Amino acid sequence: MTYRNARGDARAGLLGRRLLAGAVLASLVGAGLAAPAAADDADELVVAPGVSAAGDWGRPGAPGTAAAGFTVEELPEGGTLYLALDAASPGGTGGYRARVKVEPDGGLVVGTSKVVDGREGWYSSTPVEGEVEPGDVVNLEADFTGAPRGDVLVRAWPSDETRPDWQHDLVDDGEVPVTSTLVNRTWGYLSSGASGSVSVEVGDVREQVVAEPVHTGGKPGAATTGVPDGTKLTRHDGDLVITTPGARYDSLDVHGFVVVRAPDVTITRSLIRGGRQTGNRGLVTVDDSRSRNFTIEDSTLKPDHPSVWYDGIKGSGFTARRVDISGTVDNIKIYGDDVLVEDSWLHDSRWFASDPNQGGGPTHNDGVQVLGGSRITFRGNSITGASNGAVQVTQDYSPVMGLTFVGNWLSGGTCSVKINHKGEASRPQVAVRDNRFGLGQSIAGCAVLATSRTDLSSSGNVWDATSLPIVVTRFG
């Protein structure tokens, strides 16, 4: 088993968990994934020296991400406090533990351990910057997406600091105990040398509020997006499948599709045409667990052979700046976390009378469709020319949290922005601020349409022609 410090951003969700007081364990090494006996359900617990605490196992699901904010009421004296997020195969006897250690002086150390048959064995750690004081919140996030192949990412930080890059990366070279179906929980332990108990409250991650950049440029279009005039392109025939971390591509003319399967990849000043294939795919697809922190800038995505199967960019964990996307069913389709799209032109989606994805009915074209994910921002874009909506928000794949549309130009569709919770118990959390809306909606005057269960923040949105405020329509 090897470990390395991790760099680069990645997808991470926000899953607040509660800890339950647990059984006394003989030692930390013996504190495995088998669940301790639980006491009363509580948002706050007191962990005594030599005692572990654990939450209920979550329901089985695909490998994903987990996060929690731990409020440490007092620092441990004479010992150390361990706070963790567990991912385990069903049954809870084998898996991985992503941990943050809180030292008596408030220092933080992140680490990851492997648990086999209920026994914690392998463990490695990385000291991190920042420290906490009594009453502070320690944020902990873990990306278990790669757990079935032995790859776990961890980061921890005080809530008064900004979210850092991933700080610790476990790479398990041995037999992997986690299957593709996972359950998860929160966990804590106070070393037996501590002089007294420690109280910990568990909730959602809390973050420092960072001022959002104000978009000062004009409306994006042909002159400001896509491959810059005069760029000499080099032809690439066939699909470009990227597996090299940190790879950079510039000035390509790709007669095929782009598939990103490595972290920290960058594409600039390139034309991506797609090919002739059946089956749903993006001209650029970024949905592999390894494809973290992908960036595409000053590029044009337009299929030579438009098809009912093709979208523009599909996936998550990417940044798109000054891109020109047209001629696809959806310009951008998101299903995951950590996306930024800014100063781009999403326009002229392609409509088809018969779409297998719609049961043979016509295509539902969207400039942007968000199927699930967190920390998604669209800023300073022009999004036009889609028959269904400039923006369509659903929760087909996962809850939508932290989705922001600010300073964009939006028009068209039945309604330009459409938000639906789509059967999920959680409310979509969406902010729509300071956007300018064009006319042309097939439902006259319908700029923003949202279900009554949507957690919607709307302010500063106006009609572009008159600068009069738009009205949000609620339903359901």
Q: Which SS3 state, helix, strand or coil, does residue 466 take?
A: coil
**pLDDT score for 368:** 97
**pLDDT score for 279:** 86
Residues 394 and 370 sit within 8 Å (Cβ to Cβ): yes
Q: Return the residue matching tokens 């978009």.
A: 215
Q: Return the residue matching tokens 């279009």.
A: 221
Pairing of strands 95-102, 44-47: unpaired
Q: Which of 171, 183, 185 is nearest to 89 (CA)?
A: 183
Tell me the backbone φ, ψ of residue 356, rounded to 5 degrees. -60, -30
Residues 81 and 73 sit within 8 Å (Cβ to Cβ): no
pLDDT tens per residue, range 141-156: 998 877 877 888 899 9
E strand residue ranges, 178-321: 183-190, 198-203, 234-237, 240-242, 248-250, 252-255, 258-260, 266-268, 271-272, 281-286, 294-297, 300-301, 310-315, 318-321
Domains and CATH numbers, the chain: 2-203 (2.60.120.200), 234-475 (2.160.20)
Tell me the backbone φ, ψ of residue 70, rounded to 5 degrees. -100, 115
Show the tokens assigned to 142. Answer: 């873990």
**pLDDT score for 360:** 83
**Parts of the chain with a pLDDT under 70:** 1-45, 62, 180, 207-217, 423-426
Residues 397 and 335 sit within 8 Å (Cβ to Cβ): yes
Residues 108 and 225: their CA atoms lie apart, in Å, by 43
